[in-house]
Amino acid sequence: MADQVRKLAAQYFQLVDPAQLDLPPGNVLVRSAVQDALYERMFDESLAPLPPAAYRTRVLKLVTARIEESIVDPDQDELSDNLMNSLGTLVAQPKPSALEQVQQLSHVKYTAPLPSPLTGDREVTTIESRGLLLSGRTTGNRTWEAALHLGSFLCSPAGEALVRGKRVIELGAGTGFLSLLCARHLGARGVVASDREPVLIENMRECVRFNHDGEKPFPFHPAAWDWGTPLEKTGDLEEFVEGGGIETYDADIIPPLLSTVRDLFENYYLEEFIISVTLRNERTFQTFWDGCEQNAFKVETLPYESTPSESQSGFFHSTDIPIRTYRISKAL
Ligand SMILES: C[S@@+](CC[C@H](N)C(=O)[O-])C[C@H]1O[C@@H](n2cnc3c(N)ncnc32)[C@H](O)[C@@H]1O
């Protein structure tokens, strides 16, 4: 029961589409202990930041409908007062327009698939506006599948070994998901989360208070950097990790990305560069491959596969399109 509630709560805070949520079966949901756990982990207002009200309402309607249809003996089973009151409060709230909902900034909390033996669940909170994706000039307002895939790998022992104790820079960090993960949970010595879009850098700065418990200094430094312009921080960046996202329909992003990687190898002591690529499109992938060859990079495919979507326990993402992870280094 605890695993089912944990998984549902993790999907909910990641704003997984309600149709894809893994709801526990009705005979489990009717139990009052389960309903109490759902309220305490998902709907209690003191858990703020919570998902947007419209999303919460949709999920709570699904949960309560399943509970109601599973009640066999009304004297024994019932919908808990807490869940019923939460639903009442949510449906009474004025609804934002469809446009307002699309533009809204939301806190999205991602839970790692593998809990740490020392600290339990590892969580990362970003600020995202998934609906703004198509209207702005950036694709960085949401966290992409390839970043979630790479994050899952980095949480494994082999992945964590690439980050622990290292200085890391992320190129095109978008929401900053991977950088926050490296800084908060994977023991990176320092993380520069770079992107060219100032608004994304602002959002990343705003995220710090949701990811930092305030005890130790938080080694996370969002910085605006447009590839091709001089990198001001010189000499002190030893290792770099790039997160996800050259998967877009836009092959144009790849040549400047790879020439930036070469610049980092040649001038800034970069040792290796890790990238996850969604093999969505033959042309994009070929451009990536040709670019590595032209830059004389050594490319190694890391043997990591995402767990199929239905069996994932965190960093939920689709596995319909294959994603591969590469380690790139300078050929000797
Ligand atoms: C597809 S998004 C991926 C974001 C993130 N890596 C992820 O996977 O979730 C690509 C990101 O690269 C950034 N970007 C594109 N061209 C760039 C450039 N020339 N310099 C710096 N960042 C760039 C965009 O602003 C965007 O945030």
Give Cα 112 to chain centroid, integer Å: 9
Please tell me whether residues 128 and 271 are part of one structural domain: yes
- Band of residue 278 on the pLDDT scale cut at 50, 70, 90: confident
Evaluate if residue 172 carries a pLDDT over 70.
yes
Q: Which H helix or E strand runs over 194?
A: strand 190-195
Per-residue pLDDT at 246: 46
Q: Is 191 helix (H, G, I), strand (E, B) or coil?
A: strand
Mutate-to-test residue for ligand 1 from 127, 128, 133, 138, highest number of ligand atoms within 8 A of CB: 138
- When divided into structural domains, the chain yields a total of 2
Residue 86 token pair: 């939460």
Q: How far apart are CA 291 and CA 262, in angstroms?
A: 11
Instruction: State yes or no: pLDDT of 239 exceeds 60.
Output: no
Nearest atom within ligand 1 for CA of residue 242? 6
- State whether the Cα torsion 66-69-70-73 is positive or negative: positive
Cα gap 104→107, rounded to integer Å: 10
Q: What is the pLDDT of residue 199?
A: 92
Do residues 67 and 79 lie in contact, with contact meaning Cβ atoms separated by under 8 Å?
yes
pLDDT tens-digit profile of 142-157? 999 999 999 999 999 9
Probe ligand 1: pick from 137, 196, 200, 277, max atoms within 8 Å of CB? 196
Average pLDDT for residues 67-82, to the nearest whole number?
A: 90
Could you tell me which of 330, 187, 327, 326 has the C-alpha nearest to residue 264?
330
What's the CA-to-centroid distance between 280 and ligand 1, angstroms? 17
Domain end, chosen from 42, 70, 95, is at 95
The CATH number given to whatever domain includes residue 273 is 3.40.50.150
Rounded to whole angstroms, the Cα distance separating 25 from 35 reads 12
Between strands 167-170 and 190-195, the pairing is parallel
Residue type present at position 227: W
- Per residue in 293-331, pLDDT (tens digit) is 999 999 999 999 999 999 999 999 999 998 989 999 987
Q: Residue 151: CB within 6 Å of ligand 1?
A: no
Please check whether residues 219 and 86 belong to one and the same domain: no
Domain shared by 258 and 173, yes or no: yes
Q: Could you tell me if 83 and 222 lie in one domain?
A: no
Ligand 1 site, residue 181, Cβ cutoff 6 A: no
Going from the Cα of 298 to the center of ligand 1, the distance in angstroms, rounded, reads: 23
Residues 65 and 125 placed together within one structural domain of the fold: no
The overall average pLDDT reported for the chain is 88
Q: Which atom of ligand 1 is nearest to the CA of 138?
A: 25
Quick one: which atom of ligand 1 is closest to the CA of 197?
Answer: 25
305 and 194: one domain? Answer: yes
Q: Are residues 326 and 236 in the same domain?
A: yes
* Domain range for 70: 2-95
Do 47 and 117 share a structural domain?
A: no
Same domain (yes/no): 116, 155? yes
Last residue within a domain, chosen from 77, 95, 113: 95
pLDDT at site 267: 84
Q: Which two tokens stand for residue 257?
A: 């990305």
Any ligand 1 atom below 6 A from CB of 253: yes
What is the distance in angstroms between the CA of the first residue and the CA of the last residue of the chain?
53
Q: Are residues 83 and 130 in the same domain?
A: no
Contact yes or no for 275/162 (Cβ under 8 A): no
The verdict on 198 and 275 lying in the same domain is yes
Q: How far is the CA of 159 from the centre of ligand 1 (A)?
A: 22
Determine how β-strand 106-111 pairs with β-strand 273-278. unpaired
Reported as half-sphere exposure (CB side, CA atoms, 13 A), residue 237 has a value of: 23
Check pLDDT > 80 for residue 207.
yes
Which among 95, 128, 157 is the end of a domain? 95
Is pLDDT of 122 > 90?
A: yes
* Pair (311, 191) in one structural domain: yes
Neighbours of 88 (CB within 10 A): 9
